[in-house]
Structure formats: structure tokens, C-alpha cells
Amino acid sequence: MNSTKTLVYDGSFNGFLTAVFIGYEQKLAYADIQKKGQLQSGLFTETETIFTNLEKAQRVWNGVKNKSNSAIKNIYFAFLSEQNNMEALLYRYIQKLMGSTYKGATDFSDDCVLKINSLAQKVGREKHRMEAFVRFQLTKDEVYFANIEPDFDVLPLISKHFRNRYADQSWIIYDVKRKYGLYYDLQTVEIISLDLTDIHTNSLEKSAVFTDAEYEYQDLWNNYFKSTTIKSRINTKLHVQHVPKRYWKYLSEKKEAV
């Protein structure tokens, strides 16, 4: 019986793929893959620490990619969901994908496929939300700065969108939950981590970090938001469904509502 064993990886996507590789190597039917620091091992399970190995990760990546392009996207998106036991589910998904029982990434009548698809879909939705809900504020040293607190780790997914769109301004998008951010310096996007003493939500109080004009524009935007509402058609339920309350604190137009 070697089927219950916990593989502990460093939390990176490449680390996870390395763990998948090791799981395959050891012919584990079921792999309990867990992030370092979040280990919840049973009393009698054996653990093995995985050292991220780019070459091994690459081999898994290529193996999956050869099978299906949509599967590779689903795996990456679902991985970023950070859900409990997502790793084990992904391991099963990859097994199916590589094994003979596999029928296709579009087999919507298979449970495991459906679950991964729906996880990936949720992460995709969060990606879109962040592309919409990021609110930059202009600092005195001319960086457009935004804080976000997404449900899933979507920064890697939105980088390209913002780089393409805001090519002529420096910007930072910072994930306050995961404590890292993206910084575009007009050339490339880098991953940064900041010591934020003050989380710059769009609060009513002004911060000395931002320009005076910044607050004028926020004010104009709030005004615009208000005057564009048609009073005789108010539909709060629909409004909240589209703009869930947990995002409000970062949206300048919802400043007063928070």
C-alpha cells in the first residue's frame, strides 16, 4: 500500500507540477499534494518534501498541452483558485487526461471534468472582475496605484491586459490579501512586495501620497456615477448582484455607501 502519501510543495505552480511528476514516478493512484505551511497530515501518513524542478514541471506541462489546450488553461486557472484539496482534484484530472479512460476536456458529463471546469470558470470570472474593478489613484510620484483583494490569486492572469492597455503610464496593482503586486515601469512588469503601512482603499479621508487632482477626479467620477442612474428604474438587487459588496471598499464610486 503506497497510495496514501502526502507530497508537500512550495506553493508555486511549478512546484505543484513537479509534485505531479513525482506522483506519477511513484505511481501514486491518489496523491495528497499540499502546500508547505498548510499541512494537515493524518497521523500515519508519510510525507515527502518536493523541490521545485523546472524541467520536471515543464514535462508535465508539455504532456498536458499535447493532449489539450483548453485543459492546460483549466488546470492553471483552477490552480489559482487556491481551493482546499484542489491539488488532489487536479491530480485526478491530469490522470484522466493522460490515461486511456480520458474522453475529452469537453466531456461535460464527467464529474471531475465538471468540477475543474467550474473552478476555472470562477477564477476566470474573478479575472474579469479585477479587470473591471481596479481603480487607479495617481500618486505624487506619478504612479497609478491600485489595491485589490480578489477571491482568487488572479494577478498573474491580469498582467497582460493592464500592460497592453496602460502602456504609457507607470502603475502598480497590489494584492493586499496575498501581499504582492505588479509594477509596470513603462518597460516591463515586475513582481514586487511592499510594506504598506496604510492600505489605500478609496476612503473618504485623503492621503498625502496622492495628488490633489486625484481627489477631484474621484469626485467627478462619483458625480457621474450618480447622475447616470435613472431613479425610476432603481433595482438594488441587480446592482448588488453585478457589483458584490465585498468589492465596494476599493471602488471610489461606492465610497459613501461603505
Partner 1 sequence: MDFNRIKEKLNILADAAKYDVSCSSSGSNRKNKDKGLGDAGNGICHTYTEDGRCVSLLKILLTNHCIFDCAYCVTRKSNDIKRAAFKIQEVVDLTINFYRRNYIEGLFLSSGIFKSPDHTMERLIAVAKKLRLEENFNGYIHLKSIPGASDELMYEAGLYADRLSVNIEIPTISGLKLLAPDKKHEDFIKPMLKVKNEIIRYSEERKIIKSTAKYAPAGQSTQMIIGATGESDKDIMYSATHFYKNYKMKRVYYSGYVPISTDSRLPSLGSEVPMLRENRLYQTDWLLRFYGFSVHEILDADNPNLEMDIDPKLMWALRNLNHFPVDINKADARMLARIPGIGMGSVHKIISGRKYRNLSWEHLKKMGVALNRAKYFIICNSNDWERRDLDASKIKGMILQSQNGKFKNQYTNQLSLFN
Site residues for partner 1 per CB under 8 A = 103-104, 106-110, 114, 128, 131-138, 144, 146, 161, 164-169, 213, 216-217, 219-221, 223-225, 227-239, 241-243, 251, 253
Cell numbers for 147, please give them: 489595491
The dihedral built from the CA positions of residue 136, 193, 121 and 159, taken in this order, carries a sign that is positive
Is there a contact between 162 and 156 (Cβ–Cβ < 8 Å)?
A: no
Min dist. Cβ of residue 228 to partner 1 (A): 5
Q: Which residues pair with 236 in a beta bridge?
A: none
Min dist. Cβ of residue 175 to partner 1 (A): 16
Min dist. Cβ of residue 57 to partner 1 (A): 30
Specify the residue, 41 or 68, whose C-beta has the smaller distance to partner 1: 68
Specify the residue, 1 or 230, whose C-beta has the smaller distance to partner 1: 230
Q: Give the other-Cβ count within 10 Å of 220's Cβ.
A: 10
Specify the residue, 51 or 217, whose C-beta has the smaller distance to partner 1: 217
Min dist. Cβ of residue 212 to partner 1 (A): 10
**Which residues, in sequence order, are CB contacts of 128 under 8 Å at separation 6+?**
none
Per DSSP (E only), the strands in the chain are 5-9, 32-35, 46-49, 137-138, 144-148, 171-175, 180-184, 189-192
| Overall residue count recorded for the chain in this entry | 258
Residue 142 has phi, psi (to 5 degrees) of 60, 40
Specify the residue, 6 or 139, whose C-beta has the smaller distance to partner 1: 139
Specify the residue, 48 or 219, whose C-beta has the smaller distance to partner 1: 219
Min dist. Cβ of residue 35 to partner 1 (A): 29
